[in-house]
Structure 1
Amino acid sequence: MIDSAPRTTSLHDSSQAQADQALLRLGQRLMAASYRFITPTPLTHQRVNGRLADPRATDLRGVFGWSRPFDAGLFDAAELAGLQQAGIVQEDAGQLRSTVRWSSLGPLLLAHSAYPTEEADAVFFGPDSYRFASLIEDHLCQRFSPVRRAVDIGCGSGVGALLVARSRHTAEVLAVDINPRALRMSAVNAELAEAHNVSVYHSDVLGSVEGRFDLILANPPYMQDTQQRAYRHGGGELGEQLSLRILREALPRLQRDGSLLLYTGVAMVEGRDPFLDAARPLLDNDAYAWTYRELDPDVFGEELEKPGYERVERIAVVALTVTRRS
């Protein structure tokens, strides 16, 4: 059962709890059917769907992966009625569509928002999530210090928290987010993955949780988004504000030998890295050891055509790893 304690989400509401149980049952059904879907970039998603003469889905991957409209006959009447009652399926312009998408990550199956992610509280999953997961897995393989307590800041669908929880079964793992919809998705995904050492909390960065951590993870939004969608808008001049805030607030919360893994994006301006320039004063002292590298030098090139990015040469995704030495 999905348990509301100690989660500070709307799971206390009985109708919402029923909807979350329906989402969990759907995930279990998809896993039993060996469903798999690797989520591409939104631009690739648009291009692939645009190839179709008939846009309607003909299978579960079309419905819950490609977010295509579908006919009622694809499901039996009772199952479809349950999905509609739970808000998982809705009618849109005379057609049926899923409001959620299911993506594969290794053995995991994760629920997140359907394409296109236009709502202010959308829960995003995509290529950044896969790169973030790879960064976490590499760190855990190389880490010999124990992980007793970990937190995934801005957990979204719960990727970071789930990977740590499944790798370190005795660890207390917190998944925190300011977006209630993300917390609900993370709770369902944790239950589906049988990651019972994950607890989900509403928190603005680390403001609502106490104590120190052996491992802090963060994959914050890093774009300048005019719609200010929670999963995408990083704030500041070029989307860097939230990443810098996480760095400032996370460093004092590390245990000795504890590490921060910050995966983010940087708008490079005239050959400079503005994020690294701003981060250096926080890092260049004897208390921390750190590494910084570009994981991909050029992502979301289409953003350079939007207002605010006139001086930006490229957007890179980077990984900052900081370990507290004293």
Structure 2
Amino acid sequence: MNHESTLSPADLALVQLGRRLQADGYRFITPTPLTHQRVNDRTFGQSARNLREVFGWSRAFQPGLLSPDEERQLQQAGVLEESNGHLKSLVRWSSLDDLLFVHSGFPTEAADSVFFGPDTYRFAQLIHNHLQQSFTQVRRAVDIGCGAGVGAIVIARARHEAQVLAVDINPAALRMTAVNAALAEVNNVRVEASDVLRDVDGSFDLIVANPPYMADPAGRAYRHGGGALGAQLSVRIVEQALKRLTPGGSLVLYTGVAMVDGCDPFLDALAPYLDSLRFGWTYREIDPDVFGEELLTPGYQRVERIAVVALIVTRMGADTGGIHQSVAGE
């Protein structure tokens, strides 16, 4: 579908701004929130001096720094804030390969913030690697909890014949995904509201998800995974996704796990779903230690580390071979 034909004037203004930034050679690699804060603390009180500081580092800027067109597009999109004589963009723009993605400005304190960061880059690479290694035709795919739409757009660009759904419960995420799909010029992505897969029908050849995996007292959509240690949503995605895979279809899940006393509670919780001759699966740690600052928050007293993991589950079909189950390191 042609996303631009369905966008509101405000969202079209964001697409036009993204194109202008691309034409200007804008690039920004988004770090973790802690790194972002530490870098911004070095220049506390200073106004942004260039586009990267405005749209990457989310710093306030003085009127006149941006071109009249850029400032007008921010105003039309409803994402320009004014305070004490300074202006600030309420959105950031991040680079991924040759693409540009719009998402929430820093700090991401609002409950409906749309996140983009190091997890996003690893998630995109995980999907890319899977598509390179899989010979299964992807006719229908879905990105659960699409956020800024990275998973859906990566699939859509790699598999032009696929119909790709991008679903989320967060209206702000659906808006950002539609803008980013238009900017990426992919016409095979459809954006829909859905609580995991509850509100969409049919089966899928590829299901991808990068759900939140923290226990967030503020309950922010991009961060709070539910349960004592943030794994509840990830388990729920596995439960629903496995029922909706076509023969030969795969679930590619990127998530985080709070490791307790040397054990992996998420992998333990998956046992009832993966202990079946219908599925082959692999599970590995991508990074053994991320977001270490979270160990200081309430509820994480027994957590030794937070690891990010990749779970790939394939439903067995006539041409998928034998059962393969493996856990990296075992």
Q: TM-score, normalised by structure 1?
A: 0.94
Amino acid at match of 2:4: I
Map residues 267-286 of structure 1 onto 2, 5 A cutoff: 267-286=258-277
Structure 2 residue corresponding to 1:170, chosen from 156, 161, 182:
161
In structure 2, list runs of 5 or more residues that go unmatched. Answer: 318-330
Q: Could you tell me whether the CA contact under 8 Å between 2:93 and 2:101 is conserved in 1? A: yes
Partner of 1:238: 229
Give the aligned CA root-mean-square deviation in angstroms: 1.2
1:55 is displaced (CA, Å) by 2.3
Shift of 1:49: 1.2
Q: Secondary structure at the match of 2:4?
A: coil
Looking at structure 1, the residues matched to 156 and 76 of structure 2 have their Cα atoms a distance apart, in angstroms, of 32
1:241-268 per-residue CA deviation (whole Å, 9 max, x = no partner) reads 0000000000010000000001000000
State the secondary structure of the residue aligned to 1:264: strand
- 2:10 pairs with one of 19, 22, 36: 19
2:144 is the counterpart of 1:153? yes
What residue number does 2:184 align with?
193
- 1:36 is aligned to 27
What CA distance in whole angstroms lies between the structure 2 residues aligned with 1:168 and 1:76?
A: 37
Give, in whole Å, the separation in 1 of the partners of 2:34 and 2:139. 40
After TM superposition, the structure 1 = structure 2 runs for residues 11-160 of structure 1, keeping only pairs within 5 Å, are 17-52=8-43, 55-77=46-68, 79-160=70-151
Residue 215 of structure 2 corresponds to residue 213 of structure 1? no
Shift of 1:82: 4.0
Contact 1:23 1:88 in 2 (8 A): no
Query: Does the CA contact (< 8 Å) of 1:102 and 1:112 recur in 2?
Result: yes
Post-superposition Cα deviations, 1:8-62, rounded to whole Å, max 9, x if no partner, equal xxx5xxxxx1110110000010011111000001111111111126521111111
8 Å contact from structure 2 (residues 17, 73) kept in 1: no
| Contact residue 141 and residue 205 of structure 2 kept, 8 A | yes
8 A contact 2:16–2:73 mirrored in 1:
no
Q: Across the two proteins, how many residue pairs are aligned to each other? A: 315
- The secondary structure found in structure 2 opposite 1:74 is coil
Report the alpha carbon displacement of residue 168 of structure 1 after superposing the two structures with TM. 0.4
AA in 1 matched with 2:5: D
Q: Distance in 1 between matches of 2:69 and 2:170?
A: 31
Q: Distance in 1 between matches of 2:49 and 2:13?
A: 22
Deviation readout 1:50-81 (Å, 9 max, x if unpaired): 11265211111110000000011112445424
Paired residue for 1:7?
none
Q: Deviations over 1:278-301 (max 9, x none)?
A: 101210110000000000001011
Is 2:103–2:116's contact at 8 Å kept on the other side of the alignment? yes
SS of 2:142's partner is strand
Residue identity matched to 2:306: I
Q: What is the deviation of 1:87?
A: 1.4
The alpha-carbon deviation at position 118 of structure 1 amounts to: 0.4
3-state DSSP of counterpart to 1:56: coil
Unaligned 5+ segments in structure 1 are: 5-10, 12-16
2-side partners of 1:193 and 1:285: how far apart?
39
**8 Å contact kept, 1:49–1:55:** no
Number of the residue aligned with 1:3: 5
SS in structure 1 at match of 2:71: helix
Q: Is residue 291 from structure 1 mapped to residue 282 from structure 2 by the alignment?
A: yes
Partner of 1:317: 308
* 1: CA distance, partners of 2:201 / 2:95: 32
2:252 is matched with which residue?
Answer: 261
Contact persistence 2:149–2:180 (CA under 8 A): yes
Judge which range, 82-91 or 265-274, deviates more: 82-91
Superposed CA deviations along residues 160-219 of structure 1, whole A, max 9, x for unmatched, are 000000000010000000000000100000000011000000000011111000000000
SS of residue matched to 2:64: helix
Q: 1:52 to 1:278 in 2, by over 3 A?
A: same
Aligned mates of 2:259, 2:70 — CA distance in 1: 49
Identity %: 66
Q: CA deviation at 1:84?
A: 2.0
